[in-house]
Structure 1
Amino acid sequence: MSVQTQNATLLIIASETSEAERLISALREDGFAAKSVAVPHAERLDEAIAQRGCDMILCCSHDRNIDLDAVLTAYRKLDGDVPLILIADAENAAADLAKARRGGARDLIRRNDNEQLKLAVTREFADLLRRRDARGLIERHQLCERRSRELIEVTSAGVAFIQDGLHIDANPAYLALFGYDSMDDLQGATFLDLVVPEQQKSLRDVLRGGDGSAQAAPLERDLTCRRADGTEFKAHLFAAFAEFDSEPCLRLLLNAMNGSRTVNQTGSDPAHGEVGQRSELTRLLDEIETHIGAEDRRVERPFAIFYIRVKDSMTLMRDLGLTSGLELLNAFASALAATVAGRGFLARLSQDGFGLIVDGLGEFDAKALAEQIAATVRLPSHATKGDSATADCDIGYYLVSDRAAAAEDIINAAHRLCLDHAHHAPVGSPPTSLAARTKQEDADDDTAIARKIEDALHHDRLKLVYQPIISLMGDNQENYSVLMRLLDAEENLLEGKDFIGPAIRGGLIEEIDKWAIRTAIRVIGEQRRAGHNLGLFINLSEDTFRNPSVVLWICDCLREFDVRGNWLTFQFQEELVTSNLTSISKLVESLKKIKCRVAMNRFGENAHPERLLQGLSLDFVLMKPEFAQGLADDQTKQQQILKLANLAREFNVKSIVTGVEDARALTVLWTAGVDYVQGNFLQRPSPTLEVQA
């Protein structure tokens, strides 16, 4: 905004109001917008300026009743920025000029020189506005710096300021990244000391640029850094010119790359971190990934993951108030951090929830650690309401070995177990896969069957059989469910229920799945080329869909036998979804990209099936066979199937009822709007792809 568009308020010191009116009139005639306040002397000058909001002072020093020395004395005592212009007689101008300079006046104008007066007032008012703008910018800059410092204190990235290679300041995340307890400890080390020797030479020139002599472009590079304890980690460095306490320096921003092991990089450690909790979750996910091979999800370092949650935290904060409640939660976090110090990786995932990873624990050791935490990590005594026998936290733990699900699924499993414990289930870990969930005591039988499976794989004694999936709505495509049979060396035929469990427990199920998938793709290619419009439903075990490369392997098979993806439907069990939701979501997304269809088997066991349909893009749901048993005489089952069929239709998913036993069940299913049926009543599994009348 220009000076001409703003009104200045002038404080005119003159004993006669007529002189003040003459001055303001002369300025207005020349186009300077101004208001005036006239005072006869300089007493309480500061009060007059503050009360009337004056921008500038015009002092008529030619007035015999004005004491110039008193005016200059009062002016020097002013705190604000208010320019002073003296107006003097021509004969006294030279004498008053020396006083004006000593007193801080901005200019001295001869009386009746209206042109010079206007120029001086316009100039000083413009300068005043620029100074005010500058002060405003400085205040904003200082505010930004304060907020920047506050953000730096709590950011998950390590931030430091260095000058001549020496640390002058660093945030808590930077200290934690390198394993230093305080800034005093870090000041004894140069930044080069924190980098491996072979990379130090290339950084020296960059660090010398911190004197601010040349504001070069920011630098980015990957480094191998060294902690105080001598361990190393990979990090990404961003270095840029900055100022610290008005001194030029370099600002370093350091982010640990995946694979580095840091307990605290949130700017508020896991014990006290009210901020950065999303970052803590991300780092916990990254820590899980360091235990798992990227190619095949094989667990390279078995571990236990614990989820620890303070009981009734919302009630606690309601009863004690937010601030007191948060203080208690922070005290609990401190106690937890002290108890598990050095044991593993601890992250605060929410106000009342913590994730802990400990390597190499078995079931017994994990349970012992959970009991130790529950017994020793307590809220301050005044919050326990006198019940010292009851733990203040719920704990769920989950053991991870062999092949792992997605990191999100692993955390979710521990969290779910913690919630189960809160509802009076025992502390514990579900097995990491169906293999352990179906584990049996008879290891000798497993060993014998495992030998038969290996022999069948090597001598081509595995067989596919097919059971038709019949449409109740007039679909002309022939769909078949692919099932497995095993012919052992004694020519005994084993059904899937006889060997699938031992195959899972023996780590052979993925090899069986791949054999079945490749064989099925070859068969459907032959059938399609022969003119048969059919599709195959193929099961995927947990070990198989946890392998991130399985979809690429399926693509290779499709290309090998010139088969389209939409001829195949891959299915998995509903009970595997909740513990592998992220893994299965990625699987479904990948299968959809190659046009394959996806189905969920044994649908209807989950208490909230609508959530599964919301979370996954499915083409079919196969209801568990128990629904079809005695269906015609069971009103409850009929209502269940009707509800599930309607729910599937809402999500544009086709419904299939398996295990159909009799003709009366078909009438019920058709009435309920079920799309397809499958069962031995219709046709038993057959080695041929022909629907029998």
Structure 2
Amino acid sequence: MDDIIRLIVIEESANDAEVILNSLRKARYPIRPRHVEDDEDLQAALGEHEWDLIISVPQVGEFTCAQICEMVNSSKQDIPVIVLTDKLDGKIISTLLSGGARQVIPSQSDGCLQAAVGKELADLTERRRRRHLDQLYRELQRHNKILLESSRDAIAYVHDGMHIHANPSYLKMFNYKSMDDIEGLPIMDLVSLEDQAKFKEFMREFMTDDQEKERQIDLEGIAADKKRLKLKMELSHAIYDSERCIQVIIRDQSQNQELEQKIKEISRRDQTTGLLNRQYFIELLEKALAKAMETHTRSVLFYIELDNFNTMRENLGVGGSDPVIQNTGKIINEVSEGGALSRFGENVFTLLLTDKDGKKYANAGPLADKICKAVEANVTEVGKQSVVSTCSVGIAQVLASAATPQDVLNDAHNACAIAMKRGGNSFEFYKVSGDQKGDMKLSDIAKLIETAIEEKRLSLRYQPIVNLHGDSQEMYEVFLRMLDGEGKTVPASNLFDAAEKANLSIQLDKWVLEQSIKKLVQQQKAGHKTHFFIKLSDQAIRDESVLLYIRKLLKSTQLPGSRLIFELSESIAISQVKLAKAFISQLKSFECQSALEHFGTGLNSSTTLKHLPVDYVKIDSSYSKGLSTNPDNQKAVQEIVKMAHELDKLTIAEAVEDANSLTVLWSSEVDFAQGHYIQEPMDEPEFDFSEEE
């Protein structure tokens, strides 16, 4: 979107419209407005320009908000509609939103209007950006398919060992008439029996190799008519129809392959330094990001910028600085430990290291220091001048939570800027930090999550669950705590929201499982029969790997499964009853127990409970607040307890905050209780349950 905001204001009078415009001008929005009073005015306006925003009252005469939204839809324009109204009751808001309005806000609040406009313009910009990228992607796909179909090289795409596409040259080479004949055919069927073992070993190495470069193999192929072919296959990772797969190329032997390979290599190189160029480096970074998303194999990015380069260029001239750049690139390459090094900008180098086991990031500081010292010690002779330079290095990990390669580059560049601001000739790791208010974006929290295990910023805390009747049992609920880069606790709600959005929930689940079971084994060796309630993410019941991981941990530690009680939220159980039931049944086969948490918040809690074979019902914390003075909550708790006991399930009250509430829970025959009044979460499971008897 350009700087000017094209805005339509629909109001009864120009004076009223001007009040709205003044509010936006105060917030420094660069608006180009048009006042509209009826449907004819709006129709004319929609035909003249592409508009960015409409601000309207609910109705002008007979002209309603629903009609406005309908006209916008008919014009095929993406224009968000914000409605200003004096009456903010639920029915009016519902009607306006159902009619197509994006937001409904109070008329007399400048702050609300300015915030709403900012949000809608940001969303609009993002939607337009995505449409543009989709268009470019479709055009690129179309262009690539044309090149693919016209190529003299035989090219095919293979997923899970099966052909998903092949071009005419490939079909002709293997004597197949159409794609229907080869689709779904294993690529192994095109390899001679004598070379199949060789090809299997080659494929195994190719799939486990960290390097993104192409791999070649010479072998004998078999065509559909049993004709034998001498082949040189070139394999590389690729994407076809938005699916990760393997590209197979069999070169046309009539072409000069050596010359073609040289041209290909030259196109990837910077002419001044001979290092990789910016375009190819971004391709490598895109592949590294894809690998981080799919296999959690991270890479490390170094952003290396020469200090005081502008001053150096003024003294040496544009041409005079080239020898310095060449020499510096050579020096960095010598100490770069085999990574992909590029000349990314005029005085910027970027280095990418694949980091399968995390050791490269652990050693990134010493490597960056080595680069700084090597550059500082390097002397370049330019004419009669001896030139010495220094550099600043920013270090960032290529994490799955990064949306684009540019995000990773920005992180490394920001870290480099800090090192440079400090005086240069040093390095800095990218650290996620909040804004001036101490808040943090979910995307930044996601980055923290991915690095939290290595940096030891994750820990468990334990809150006891006490028996209100009968013998005490050592039971705790396990809570996950994460610290940010400055040692401050990240709020749990933000932590789990960020993990879910970045597809990191299962990773956190498995860390909690491993650490919880390790702690339970320690407790068992110390003579304690401790039980842990563990809250799993909503994704856990959809991922078979979680159950397999639980079974593996129990088997390797010989811990009785009965020591674990897994909590599922009522909301996920209601929406995924079959999955939840199957998940709980599988837990029972491990002798583990289960609990339904946040119980009582659904519309059909009783029906859900009848369908799920859980052992415990955790009454939602909203019922415990002010329980001693709230008859409605007291009655609801009694009904939940009666229902649970009739189904042979035990009950637990959460968030108990005072003695009076505890008394009510006891008289209501709630089985267990937990909360800050009893004990806040502890760093170790060391609660004295004997005091609660």
Q: TM-score range by the shorter chain?
A: 0.3 to 0.5
TM-score by length of 2: 0.37
After TM superposition, the score normalised by the length of structure 1 is: 0.37
